[in-house]
Copies of this chain bind each other. A is one copy, B any other.
Amino acid sequence: MAGKTPAIPSPSFFPHDYPPISSEDQGLWIASQIQDWQINHGSLLKDIQSQAAHTVRTYPVGVSVYPTPFPRALFERALELQSIYNELYCAMAEDEQWIFKTIKDLLPIHPLAESLWSIHVKVKDTGGYVQDISAGIFRSDYMLSVGPRTELKQVEINTFSCAGASHANKTVDMHRNLTRMGVYEAGGENSISISSLPINNNIESLATCLAQAHAAYGPQKSKLAKQVAVLFVVQPRNFNIADERPIEYALWNRDVSVPAYRVEFAQDVLDYTSLTDSKELLFHPPWLGTRPPIEVSVIYMRAGYESHEYDDRGREARLRLEMSRAIKCPSLLSHILTFKKVQQCLTEPGALDRFLSAEKAAAVRSTFVDMYPMDGSETGNHACDMAVNRPTGRDYVLKPSLEGGGNNVYGEAISEFLENIPMAEWKAYILMKKINSPAIENVLMSPRGIELGEVISELGVLGGCLWRRVDRNGGSEMLQNMVAGWTFKTKSADVNEMSVVKGFGCFDTPLLF
C-alpha cells in the first residue's frame, strides 16, 4: 500500500488523435443526449436568482463531452494513497497542540481561523467535547505533473464540506451510458471501451460513511425524541442542492433506512435545535409542530466554511453543534486541517513523521510539490522574494487558507497582488509550485458553450473515516478507514481556476489507459 508512487513515461504515452470526433453532426447528437441525460438525472444547478417557493429554473452543470485520458496506474495509486491520508488526517485532528502551533500566526489576521479556534476554546471552557467519536469525509485533489516522467501531485486536501461527489457520480454514469449506447463508436480505432471507464459509487459510499457514523452513535438517548437521524447543515439559497440531496435520499433508501433531514446554517440551527441537559442535540423542525423532536446522531456540515457565516449567530450556532453529543462530520479541529497553511506545514522536514510510519510518510511526501510559508522565517523570506519577483513568481501559485478554488493568485499576478495588501497579511498565504500538467484535447460543454481545446484534469479522491479520541494528549483509534470514491474535473488548459461555480471546471470521467 505504501512505498514509492509509480510514475509513467510521458507525454508521448498519451493517446493520439483524441477525442474521437467524426463529424459536427455526431457532436451535436452527443450534446443532445448529454443535455437530456442531465435533466433526467438531476445533473443540474439552480439558477438561484429565479428561485421562488413554488418554482425555480435550473440548468445542466458543465461536463466533458468525451471522457479524458488518465493513466490507470496513477488513478489506482491515488485511490490506494487515500487510506494513508485518512490515517494522517485523523491523527492530526486529535493533535490540538500541533494544530495550534501550525495556525496560531493566522489567528490575528484570518477571520475564519479566529472564529473556529475561539469556538473550540469556548467548547473546552464550557464542559468540553462530550462525543469521543468523529467522522470525516475528506477529498485529496491531484493533478498529473509532467517532467521526465508523469507523476501524481497533490493540489490540496479538503476536510470540510467536500463538494462534487454526487455530480461526479452522475457524470460517470452518463459517460458510461453514452458509451453503452455506442455514441463514441464512429471514432473507429479510438473508440471508447466501457471497461476503460471506472465505475463510480460516490453517492452510495458517502451515505455509507454517514450511516456508519449513525450506527456508531448508538440508540436514542433522549426520552423527548421520536427518532434518531442524520442532520445535514446547509447554506441558505444553495444553488448546488443536486450535489447534497442525493446523499440524503440514499440514506433514506438504504436497506435499513437512515432518516436524514436538513437545516440551514445559522439562523435555523438556532431556531430549530436545542441541547438537552445531557447534550443530546434535538431537532424541532417547524413542520413537526408540537410533536416530539428528532434526536441528531450525526451532523454533516455542508455550511460554515466561509468567514462571513461566523457573525454572532453563526458562532452561537456552531458552538451549539460542537457542544452536542452528536457525531460531527467533521469535528471542529479537523475542519481547521483544511487550511492551506496546514498543507504547507506538512511539507516541512519531519512533519509527517509525527503522524505516520517512515514508509507511509514517504508515500504521502512523494505527492507533494514545493510549498513555502510567506512569513518571517528564513524559508518565508526566500518565498516572499520569489513571489514578488515576476520571473520566479511565474512558476508559483499564491493560495489563501480558504476552502475551495477561486481565491488563488497565479504566476506573474502575484507580485502586484502582494503590493496591494499590507505585508502583515502576507503570512495568511502560502506559496506553492505550479504543477505542470499535460494538456490533452477534449470538448467541454457548459453554460459557456461547447469548446474543443486543450484541457487539464484534476482527480479528487474521497476518504471516509470514523475515529475515536482515546486520550486527551492526541491519541486516536480509527474505527473506519475507507476510500469512498472520487471526483474527476476538467477545465480548459488556458484557465487557471477549476471552479465549477464559475463555469470553468466540468465534471468528467477518466478514460484509463
Check B40 against A286 for contact (C-beta < 8 Å).
no
| Alpha-carbon distance A185/B293, docked complex (angstroms) | 12
Check A59 against B59 for contact (C-beta < 8 Å).
no
- The count of residues in chain A whose C-beta lies closer than 8 Å to any C-beta of chain B is 56
Q: Does A288 contact B (CB under 8 A)?
A: yes
Q: Could you say which of B35, B241, B288, B448 contacts A39, with CB atoms under 8 Å apart?
A: B241
CB proximity of A116 to chain B, nearest CB, Å: 29
Check B58 against A44 for contact (C-beta < 8 Å).
yes
List, in ascending order, chain B residues with CB within 8 A of A185's CB: 287-288, 291
Q: Does A432 contact B (CB under 8 A)?
A: no
Number of copies: 2
Chain A 479-494 interface 0/1 with B at a Cβ cutoff of 8 Å (1 = within) = 0000000000000000
Check A449 against B39 for contact (C-beta < 8 Å).
no
Q: Does A445 contact B (CB under 8 A)?
A: yes
Check A39 against B29 for contact (C-beta < 8 Å).
no
Known: A26-B287, A31-B53, A53-B28. A41 touches B42 (CB 8 A): yes
List, in ascending order, chain B residues with CB within 8 A of A54's CB: 31, 445-450
Q: Does A195 contact B (CB under 8 A)?
A: no
Q: Could you say which of B257, B287, B448 contacts A25, with CB atoms under 8 Å apart?
A: B287
Which residues from chain A sit less than 8 Å from chain B, CB to CB?
22-23, 25-26, 28-32, 35-37, 39-42, 44, 46-47, 53-60, 177, 180-183, 185-186, 227, 241-242, 245-246, 249, 252, 257, 259, 261, 285-289, 291, 445-450
List, in ascending order, chain B residues with CB within 8 A of A32's CB: 53
| Alpha-carbon distance A22/B288, docked complex (angstroms) | 9
Cβ-closest chain B residue relative to A42: B40
| Alpha-carbon distance A436/B227, docked complex (angstroms) | 44
CB proximity of A205 to chain B, nearest CB, Å: 18
| Alpha-carbon distance A177/B55, docked complex (angstroms) | 20
List, in ascending order, chain B residues with CB within 8 A of A40's CB: 42, 241-242, 245-246, 249
List, in ascending order, chain B residues with CB within 8 A of A59's CB: 55-58
Check B58 against A57 for contact (C-beta < 8 Å).
yes
| Alpha-carbon distance A37/B288, docked complex (angstroms) | 20
Cβ-closest chain B residue relative to A34: B54
Most buried by B among A182, A257, A287: A287
Check A252 against B177 for contact (C-beta < 8 Å).
yes
